[in-house]
Chains A and B, each alone.
Chain A
Amino acid sequence: MSKKILKLLVVHTYMAMLTVPILFMIVWYFMTATFNSYTGSFSLDNFAFMFGPIESMGIKLPAIWPIVLNTLVYSFTIVMIEVLISVPAAYAFSRLDFKGKRNAMKFLFIMRSFPGVTLIIATFFILVKMNLVDTYLGIILVAITGSLPGHVYIMKGFFDEVPWDLEWAAMTDGCSRFRAFRKVILPAVKPGIGAIAIFSFLGAYGEWFLFKLLIFSDTRLIIGGYIAKLITEENVIVDYGLISALGLFYTLPVILFYIFSQKIFMKVNIGGSKGV
């Protein structure tokens, strides 16, 4: 028995050692953001950026709320378009027979594992030709195309799991194909739609690279692009308090959103299986 305890002790020790840095990271964010670095006492001065434009140690921050608004508009637009495009596409891939389906499937698979970043130079050139550089339309189209194949694939899996009989039953009862899709299939794949909506939201919310590349005006940045600009412009970050406060302000909603969405996921799952 003592051997078992020893073994568990060993496992716990190295797991704890591996996890300490991460704990440290989390604690560090909160500490740096909420303590004044000079006096060492608790203060929320670092969050002053929430109440208007500020200037601290040479860093000029514009008002944050327009940027937050940009972020939300950008993320929700992406979520909506992505769901609207990928759900029908996945349905077609899963259910319909069309010419060249096999090749299309193969292509989807290749596209999903293809390193899309390598195409960014040509994409940039095409956007220049289409006059879409420095516009939201351009960046949204590029971002969506990048993540779409993966999401169509996930969605297809959800459609595949809905039994054919369900659809047939609906159609024998007098539903048109479209009505069957809307009334019967769609409710059954709700968790899938939730999943891709969450994935695309998280992806869009964390985006910074495309903004660095394709958006030139500061007023159109989202938070991610904005922080990226702050931390890559200079070699050294001067005011960690401010930056980590900004980072925390940016991250906390994601964490909350994640916890919240986990709960929804479970509910939807239960509801779905009851219905089927």
Chain B
Amino acid sequence: MFILPFALLTLTFFILPAIATVWMSFTDLDVKMKPNFIGLENYIRIFQDYSLGEILQNTIVYAVASLGFVLLLSLIIAISTQYFMKGKTVATGYRVLWLIPSLFPSVVFAIFWKYIFDPTENGFLNKIGMHLGAVDEPVSWITRYAMPIVILGTVVGSVSSNVILLSSSINSIPEDLYKAARVDGAGEKSIILKIILPTLRWPLMYITITTLIGFVSSYFFIMLLTDGGPMHDSTTLALYSYQQAFQLKYYGYGAAISMFVVVIALALTLVLLRLFDFDALVQPSRIEE
């Protein structure tokens, strides 16, 4: 059968791990690899974990701030290149430049941010700061501003794929529509608000949901940049589950935190779907057909 290999792989490395995660979250599996069933203890432990508050807060700040900036930047870039400078070579130039961060392998991308915020005098910010006399000695930027730095890097790295998606939607708006609107006396502001944004509703919904799930559940970039440090300053919940499982070898506890992450991601998705549908009811799009 055609899908047999696919089904087999899915079974062993998706369904099985999913079940195993649930099972592990009820055990005290650790480095000894001898699981004992301990019931809800791991879940109780999550809520008694003294660093949970800080980590949850980090997760929310990281996900919401990154999402906000990603949406804003992608919209600005997509609208300026696809509407204001439509068809100009400069526009393509801008878009290609913004594509580059996502083409860079993430490890290479992280090197750049490490350089900018390097805590020694070799770092870019320290060099500039000391040259201008703004700081007397090298500042340990990452220690001080771990979260903002992580967010900045994440945003720059994830804007471009969204720009592509948004640009192609804007591109599908017929030119006549703008002309008609201008004849009717519409300014740029109302063209953007009433024509472009409604067209972008579905892509925006898609972006919001996928990037939000991504930010809540993945931690690769944080790991490269700060590894969650200093202390737990830039640790998100998903990274915390990784640390518990693979650095402290509390596999059972890590799995329980993972479950928690999945529940959050699921809840967010459902809430967002509701929210967007609700919006659709209130404000029907004008150029859907």
Q: Which residues in chain A, 91-141, are within 8 Å of chain B measured between CB atoms? A: 91-93, 96, 98, 104, 111, 113-126, 128, 141
Could you tell me if B218 and A117 are in contact, using CB atoms closer than 8 angstroms? yes
* A180 shortest CB reach to chain B, Å: 14
Chain A residues closer than 8 Å to B103, beta-carbon distance: 251, 254-255, 258
A265 part of interface (Cβ distance < 8 Å)? no
* A108 shortest CB reach to chain B, Å: 9
Q: Interface digits, B175-189 against A, CB 8 Å rule (1 contact, 0 not)?
A: 000000000000010
- Best-surrounded residue of B24, B107, B111, B255 (most CB of chain A within 10 A): B107
Chain A residues closer than 8 Å to B115, beta-carbon distance: 28, 32, 237, 240, 244
For the complex, what is the distance from the CA of A23 to the CA of B96, rounded to whole Å? 11
Could you tell me if B14 and A85 are in contact, using CB atoms closer than 8 angstroms? no
Could you tell me if A88 and B21 are in contact, using CB atoms closer than 8 angstroms? no
Query: In which size bucket is the chain B interface?
Result: 35 or more
Q: Interface digits, B104-116 against A, CB 8 Å rule (1 contact, 0 not)?
A: 1111101110110
* A19 shortest CB reach to chain B, Å: 5
Given A15-B94, A115-B216, A228-B224 in contact, is the A29-B112 Cβ separation under 8 Å?
yes
B275 part of interface (Cβ distance < 8 Å)? no
* A257 shortest CB reach to chain B, Å: 10
For the complex, what is the distance from the CA of A255 to the CA of B213, rounded to whole Å? 28
Could you tell me if A117 and B238 are in contact, using CB atoms closer than 8 angstroms? yes
Q: Which of chain B's residues has its CB closest to A116's CB?
A: B14
Q: Which of chain B's residues has its CB closest to A206's CB?
A: B105
Q: Which of chain B's residues has its CB closest to A237's CB?
A: B114
Chain A residues closer than 8 Å to B18, beta-carbon distance: 119, 122
Could you tell me if A125 and B112 are in contact, using CB atoms closer than 8 angstroms? no
Chain A residues closer than 8 Å to B214, beta-carbon distance: 115
For the complex, what is the distance from the CA of A242 to the CA of B220, rounded to whole Å? 23
A200 part of interface (Cβ distance < 8 Å)? no
Chain B residues closer than 8 Å to A258, beta-carbon distance: 103
* A87 shortest CB reach to chain B, Å: 9
Could you tell me if A231 and B20 are in contact, using CB atoms closer than 8 angstroms? no
* A227 shortest CB reach to chain B, Å: 4
A49 part of interface (Cβ distance < 8 Å)? no
Chain B residues closer than 8 Å to A93, beta-carbon distance: 3
* B227 shortest CB reach to chain A, Å: 6
For the complex, what is the distance from the CA of A96 to the CA of B3, rounded to whole Å? 11
Q: Which of chain B's residues has its CB closest to A89's CB?
A: B6
A12 part of interface (Cβ distance < 8 Å)? yes
Chain B residues closer than 8 Å to A113, beta-carbon distance: 209-210, 213, 269
Q: Interface digits, B94-130 against A, CB 8 Å rule (1 contact, 0 not)?
A: 1001101101111110111011001110100000000
Q: Which residues in chain A, 203-262, are within 8 Å of chain B measured between CB atoms? A: 205-206, 208-209, 213, 224, 227-228, 231-232, 235-237, 240, 243-244, 247-248, 250-251, 254-255, 258
Query: In which size bucket is the chain A interface?
Result: 35 or more
Could you tell me if A121 and B21 are in contact, using CB atoms closer than 8 angstroms? yes
Chain A residues closer than 8 Å to B220, beta-carbon distance: 209
Chain B residues closer than 8 Å to A111, beta-carbon distance: 10, 14
Q: Which residues in chain A, 7-27, are within 8 Å of chain B measured between CB atoms? A: 7-8, 11-12, 14-15, 18-19, 21-23, 25-26
A34 part of interface (Cβ distance < 8 Å)? no
Chain A residues closer than 8 Å to B213, beta-carbon distance: 113, 115
B84 part of interface (Cβ distance < 8 Å)? yes
For the complex, what is the distance from the CA of A92 to the CA of B18, rounded to whole Å? 25
* B82 shortest CB reach to chain A, Å: 12
Could you tell me if B107 and A224 are in contact, using CB atoms closer than 8 angstroms? yes
B261 part of interface (Cβ distance < 8 Å)? yes
Could you tell me if B118 and A86 are in contact, using CB atoms closer than 8 angstroms? no
Q: Which residues in chain B, 203-238, are within 8 Å of chain A measured between CB atoms? A: 209-210, 213-214, 216-220, 223-224, 227, 238
Could you tell me if A115 and B118 are in contact, using CB atoms closer than 8 angstroms? no
B67 part of interface (Cβ distance < 8 Å)? no
For the complex, what is the distance from the CA of A257 to the CA of B216, rounded to whole Å? 31
| The one of B100, B106, B122, B265 that contacts A26, using a Cβ cutoff of 8 Å | B100
Closest 8 CB pairs of A and B: A115-B217, A122-B20, A145-B13, A92-B2, A89-B6, A206-B105, A88-B2, A247-B108
Chain B residues with CB under 8 Å of chain A are: 1-3, 5-6, 9-10, 12-14, 16-18, 20-21, 24, 29, 33, 73, 76-77, 80-81, 84-85, 90, 94, 97-98, 100-101, 103-108, 110-112, 114-115, 118-120, 122, 156, 188, 209-210, 213-214, 216-220, 223-224, 227, 238, 241-242, 245-246, 251, 254-255, 258-259, 261-262, 265, 269
Q: Given A118-B21, A122-B16, A240-B122, 15 more contacts at CB 8 Å?
A: A7-B188, A15-B81, A25-B100, A86-B6, A89-B5, A98-B1, A121-B246, A213-B246, A224-B105, A231-B111, A237-B111, A237-B118, A243-B111, A247-B111, A254-B103
21 A-B interface contacts by CB (under 8 A): A11-B85, A14-B80, A28-B112, A92-B3, A104-B3, A115-B265, A118-B261, A118-B265, A120-B17, A120-B242, A121-B254, A122-B18, A122-B24, A123-B17, A125-B251, A149-B10, A208-B106, A236-B119, A236-B120, A251-B104, A251-B105
